[in-house]
Structure 1
């Protein structure tokens, strides 16, 4: 089945979730604090259930630390109910947000849903690294640095492909314009995040010329952009 990491300082809850997931055939790793969670994330789980309110390092900080190294969905658990708390979680790379107390059945259903989405067609090379990513009519060849829609090649600049690669390797994750600019252009580059807006606009236009009915890159208003999880 799947490898799942639970990070929460409530030991009774962790035990309950671990037993429930193992009964479904999953392999479960556990951590009771942020530092332990960061260490266990090196196991490359297929989904992470992450509590926000922990004493030494909160879930937001854990997510910020691991998001660039871990591609799997992250489900936040929290007693915090405000809209801003949820937006912060999504902006940092969370994929879902469940408010405590919650139904175990609902959490299991959401975990199952995220795992199903992650099983989209992904081809691997001999080293086990992703080579082709498929999203509905669009295919990304990471090795050849090519994008095809309906088997038609999309002509892209180096920076445009780099943006597509960054977003598509983390579908559903919101990246701010500043994050994209720093990752693609570098910290010392001359310019600002408005450059990202222009590049995304050009990418969308090129996609639309071939497939005008599908939105692959969506805007998270006031935050940045995300690659849509579509099959």
Structure 2
């Protein structure tokens, strides 16, 4: 069961969020001030919802004090709508910023998206302990970040290698362009998922030139892409 920590001095708001999240199957911890929030953060929740405007210690200071020991996503809530507050919240270690009043459904969607991203990152890190991946004539060296066909290194850009690595670490699993974009470019990137198709096209062209008889990345029409197991 995932644990979410809410730090918000508005008790009615915190209560509503707690009831909603518990109804979704989450374990919820609640703090109504920064000091208590810092203490509860030591329990290592899976995600923190943090209000900025609190009496005494504000959300920015709470984030500064916990970010070095808490690795989970931190979602800022604030009635402030100033651009500098959004920038500051991300610069000091926040992962998202949601203005009040907000859509409860949107907040839930963001929470679930951040948690999914964390799960994928953990899976990727676990798989990354394997240094070499082998598929047909291809070898992916995770440590040196090289993709080779036989002994020939394929000249991939950083993003192209990131895509190839991500798909190859999950052979046979289908990922949508949106999922791949969120993983490779990040949840808050300014572009869109259409760039994934261009990068996949470039990877395929480079692989086909070196190994014309083998297909490594397949299109699953209407869904996305997958790395062929064999």
Q: TM-score range by the shorter chain?
A: 0.5 to 0.7
Equivalence for 1:152:
141
Task: Give the distance between the partners of 2:25 and 2:115, measured in 1 at CA.
Answer: 13
Q: Secondary structure at the match of 2:28?
A: strand
Alpha-carbon contact 1:5-1:48 (below 8 Å) kept: yes
Q: How many residues align?
A: 154
Q: CA deviation at 1:155?
A: 4.9
Equivalence for 2:125:
133
Distance change in 2, residues 1:42/1:215 (3 Å) = farther
Q: TM-score, normalised on structure 2? A: 0.59
Q: Please list, as runs of the form range in 1=range in 2, the aligned pairs for 1:81-100 lying within 5 A after superposition.
A: 81-100=81-100
Q: In structure 2, list runs of 5 or more residues that go unmatched.
A: 134-138, 146-153, 163-183, 188-230
Equivalence for 1:16:
16
Equivalence for 2:159:
213
Task: Give the distance between the partners of 1:84 and 1:31, measured in 2 at CA.
Answer: 26
Between the two structures, name the one with larger relative contact order (CA 8 Å, sep ≥ 6).
1
Q: CA deviation at 1:106?
A: 1.2
Distance change in 2, residues 1:72/1:121 (3 Å) = closer
C-alpha RMSD of the superposition: 2.9
Alpha-carbon contact 2:76-2:98 (below 8 Å) kept: yes
Instruction: Tell me which stretches of 4 or more aligned residues in structure 1 moved more than 6 Å.
Output: none
Task: Give the distance between the partners of 1:67 and 1:107, measured in 2 at CA.
Answer: 21
Equivalence for 2:107:
107
Alpha-carbon contact 1:3-1:27 (below 8 Å) kept: yes
Q: Secondary structure at the match of 1:44?
A: coil
Equivalence for 1:56:
56
Q: In structure 1, list runs of 5 or more residues that go unmatched.
A: 124-131, 157-207, 217-226
- Higher Cα Rg: structure 1 or 2? 2
* Per-residue Cα deviation, 1:137-190 (whole angstroms, up to 9, x for no partner): xx654xx9x799x6315459xxxxxxxxxxxxxxxxxxxxxxxxxxxxxxxxxx
Equivalence for 2:212:
none
Q: TM-score, normalised on structure 1? A: 0.59
